Amino acid sequence: MSVKLGVPSKGRLMEQCFDWFGSRGVRLSRTGSDREYAGAVDGIEGVELVLLSAGEIPRELAAGRIHLGVTGSDLVREKIGNWTFHCTELAPMGFGHADLVVAVPQAWVDVDTLDDLDAAAAAFRARHGFRLRIATKYHRLVREFLREHGVADYQLIDSQGATEGTVKNETAEAIADITSTGETLRANGLKVLADGLIHASQATLFAARDAVWSEADRAVLNGLRARLGLAADA
C-alpha cells in the first residue's frame, strides 16, 4: 500500500505544483507521453502520484480514493458538502490565486453592496414578476454566501462557461464567478460589489479524512509533512 497524492494533470497548475514540491525536496514527474496520466515521486518513499483534473480531485478526496490532493480551495468548498468533515487543509500553496465574487452591471450606479443588491432584487421581482437571475457554476458557495448576507428574491442560473457574457446576452442580471484580475469583468461591463468577495481561492494541499489510513500510511504522511516543512500529524 502507498499514500496516493492527486495533483492536476496538465497546464500551469501542474507545473506550479511540481515546482512547489520540487523546491521542498520532493520531485514529481509525469512518465510516458502527454496522453498518459502516469507519474512518479522521488525524494520520499511510500507516495504514489495520481494525475487528475483539478475538478476531479475534490470528488476523489471525498470518496477516500486518494489520501492527499492538490486543487483549488474553491473547488473543495463547492463540490464537497460540509467539506471540513471530509478533508483537512494541510497547506495553502501560494499559487492559483483567484477570487470568487458577485458582480453586477456597471450601469447599476445605485448597487454597490449586498444590501443594495437585495433591494434591487426585490424591486426587480416586483417589476418583472420573476426573480433576478445570477449566473454561476458555484451554486453551493453562492447560495450560502447570499443567505448569510440576507439577499433574497434571486435565482441561480447554471453557467459552465463564459459566465461574464451572460448579462450582456440577457440570460442573467448578475453573476458570481472566479476572477484573477477583474479585466474580463470590466470588459463585459461588470463591477464587483464592494462586499462581494465570496472566497479568495488558491491551490491547497488537502488530506482526505475518509481515506483508509494505516499506521504505515500515517508514518509516510508525517515523513512527507517533515520534508515539506509542515507540522507533524497529531
Domain ranges of the chain: 3-96+202-228, 98-201
Q: Per-residue pLDDT averaged across 103-132, rounded?
A: 97
pLDDT tens-digit series, residues 9-55: 989 999 999 999 999 999 999 876 555 567 889 999 999 999 999 88
By C-alpha distance, which of 65, 112, 71 is closest to 91? Answer: 71
Q: What is the pTM of this model?
A: 0.91
| Interior/surface letters 111-138, b for 16+ CB within 10 angstroms, e for the rest | bbebebbbebbbebbeeeeebbbbbbbb
**Tell me, what amino acid is at 71?**
T
Q: Do domains 3-96+202-228 and 98-201 have the same CATH topology?
A: yes
By C-alpha distance, which of 97, 99, 101, 13 is closest to 57? Answer: 13
Specify which residues 203 forms β-bridges with.
72
Architecture of domain 98-201 in this structure: 3-Layer(aba) Sandwich (3.40)
Of the pLDDT bands very low, low, confident and very high (cuts 50, 70, 90), residue 234 is: very low
Specify which residues 6 forms β-bridges with.
50, 69
Angle at 202 between CA 205 and CA 232, to 5 degrees: 30
Q: Per-residue pLDDT averaged across 120-149, rounded?
A: 97
Cβ within 8 Å of residue 125, ≥6 positions away: 131, 132, 153
What is the separation of C-alpha 76 from the centre of its chain, rounded to a whole number of angstroms? 6
Q: Per-residue pLDDT averaged across 177-186, rounded?
A: 92
Architecture of domain 3-96+202-228 in this structure: 3-Layer(aba) Sandwich (3.40)
